[in-house]
């Protein structure tokens, strides 16, 4: 792994220190997306959930009758997934040994961007059964624009000059901001192990947050966890003050994005 890749891996390990909080506060995924991923006959589908975290998406799939196993880099997160009934191996997916196993579905929720895209695409394709499906999905959320403007000003007041970019929302800041280049995600899957042309679908939903719930949520975001403790304390005080000015709570619109491809 190159220097940039190691930096990405080190950043991903920040989640382990907030594993309990992550499990408590991170959102799940809309039922319509889970329906799309599992299809009409979810019972006993064999699913590998890559970078499964604490098993948030895995549990939603298991509740439909799928047989879900996880692979997770961070040991504390894997322990929580196990506690929730998801058998989970602690490993980086890129170097994980499937030991000859294959699966009907390979999924990855809110985490594919942490992985080496080429190595991971090839690995996923290699463990899919014929007709099996690779499903990558993310929640992308943003504040109402007036709240986003006020919070952006707060971040600018507190963060030191030339600080790394910090996303104030949940993968996006305002409604019109690009959250990620999902076209690039789809393009990277083309040509791997006989995968079909990737398809992209989206599923709107929303969630209400109080001031304290959102500050709790921000402590599960790697860009906020990477801030110096004093800077983070000052920033959270400013964020709390701004949300209080907007009534102490807000509704965050989300768009769940699914990128999928099928093994021929």
* pLDDT confidence of residue 2: 39
Please give the Cα distance from 245 to 252 (Å, whole number): 16
Residues 109, 140: contact at Cβ < 8 Å?
no
Of the given ranges (44-53, 60-69, 111-120, 233-242), which has the lowest mean pLDDT? 111-120
* pLDDT confidence of residue 207: 96
Q: At 185, is the pLDDT very low, low, confident or very high (cuts 50, 70, 90)?
A: confident
Task: Pull the structure tokens for residue 84.
Answer: 């929730």
Cα 137 to chain centroid distance, Å, stands at 7
Of the given ranges (14-18, 35-39, 121-125), which has the lowest mean pLDDT? 14-18
Please give the Cα distance from 159 to 168 (Å, whole number): 12
Percent of the chain with pLDDT over 90: 75
Please give the Cα distance from 220 to 21 (Å, whole number): 7
Average pLDDT over every residue of 209-236: 94
Per-residue pLDDT at 190 exceeds 90:
no
Q: At 203, is the pLDDT very low, low, confident or very high (cuts 50, 70, 90)?
A: very high
Average pLDDT over every residue of 223-248: 96
- Higher pLDDT among residues 7 and 45, named by residue: 45
Domain ranges of the chain: 3-143+177-207+254-262
Give the CA angle between residues 198, 201, 205 to the nearest 5°. Answer: 155
Of the given ranges (113-117, 175-179, 227-231), which has the lowest mean pLDDT? 175-179
- Higher pLDDT among residues 15 and 36, named by residue: 36
**Angle 229-245/211-218 helices, nearest 10 degrees?**
150
* pLDDT confidence of residue 3: 37
Average pLDDT over every residue of 56-71: 98
Per-residue pLDDT at 165 exceeds 60:
yes
* Percentages (nearest 5) of helix, strand, coil residues in the chain: 45, 25, 30
Task: Pull the structure tokens for residue 131.
Answer: 């007709």
Taking the C-alpha atoms of 197, 107, 168 and 182 in order, what is their torsion angle to the nearest 10 degrees? 0
**If you average pLDDT over every residue of the chain, what do you get?**
91
Please give the Cα distance from 195 to 182 (Å, whole number): 17
* pLDDT confidence of residue 20: 94
Q: Which of 64, 57, 53, 48 is nearest to 21 (CA)?
A: 53
Helix (H) or strand (E) holding 217: helix 211-218
Q: Which residue has the tokens 């998801």?
A: 86
Residues 84, 55: contact at Cβ < 8 Å?
yes
Average pLDDT over every residue of 168-195: 79
* pLDDT confidence of residue 1: 36
Please give the Cα distance from 85 to 69 (Å, whole number): 9
The CATH homologous superfamily to which domain 3-143+177-207+254-262 belongs is Vaccinia Virus protein VP39 (3.40.50.150)
């Amino acid at each position: 792994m190159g220097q940039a890749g190691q930096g990405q891996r080190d950043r991903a390990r920040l989640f382990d220190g907030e594993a309990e909080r992550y499990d408590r506060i991170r959102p799940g995924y809309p039922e319509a997306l889970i329906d799309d991923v599992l299809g009409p006959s979810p019972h006993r589908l064999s699913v590998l959930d890559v970078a499964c975290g604490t098993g948030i998406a895995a549990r939603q799939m298991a509740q439909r009758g799928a047989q879900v196993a996880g692979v997770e880099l961070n040991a504390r997160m894997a322990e929580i997934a196990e506690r929730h009934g998801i058998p989970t191996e602690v490993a980086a997916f890129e170097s994980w040994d499937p030991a000859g196993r294959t699966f009907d579905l390979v999924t990855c929720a809110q985490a594919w961007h942490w992985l080496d895209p080429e190595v991971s695409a090839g690995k996923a394709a290699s463990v899919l059964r014929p007709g099996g499906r690779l499903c990558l999905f993310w929640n992308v959320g943003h504040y109402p624009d007036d709240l986003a403007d006020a919070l952006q000003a707060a971040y600018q007041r507190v963060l030191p000059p030339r600080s790394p970019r910090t996303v104030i929302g949940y993968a996006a800041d305002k409604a019109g901001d690009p959250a990620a280049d999902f076209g690039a995600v789809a393009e990277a899957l083309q040509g791997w192990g006989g995968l079909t042309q990737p398809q992209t679908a989206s599923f709107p939903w929303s969630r209400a947050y109080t001031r304290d719930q959102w500050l709790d949520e921000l402590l599960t975001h790697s860009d906020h966890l990477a801030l110096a403790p004093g800077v983070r304390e000052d920033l959270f005080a400013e964020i709390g003050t701004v949300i209080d000015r907007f009534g102490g709570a807000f509704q965050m619109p989300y768009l769940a994005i699914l990128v999928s491809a099928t093994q021929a």
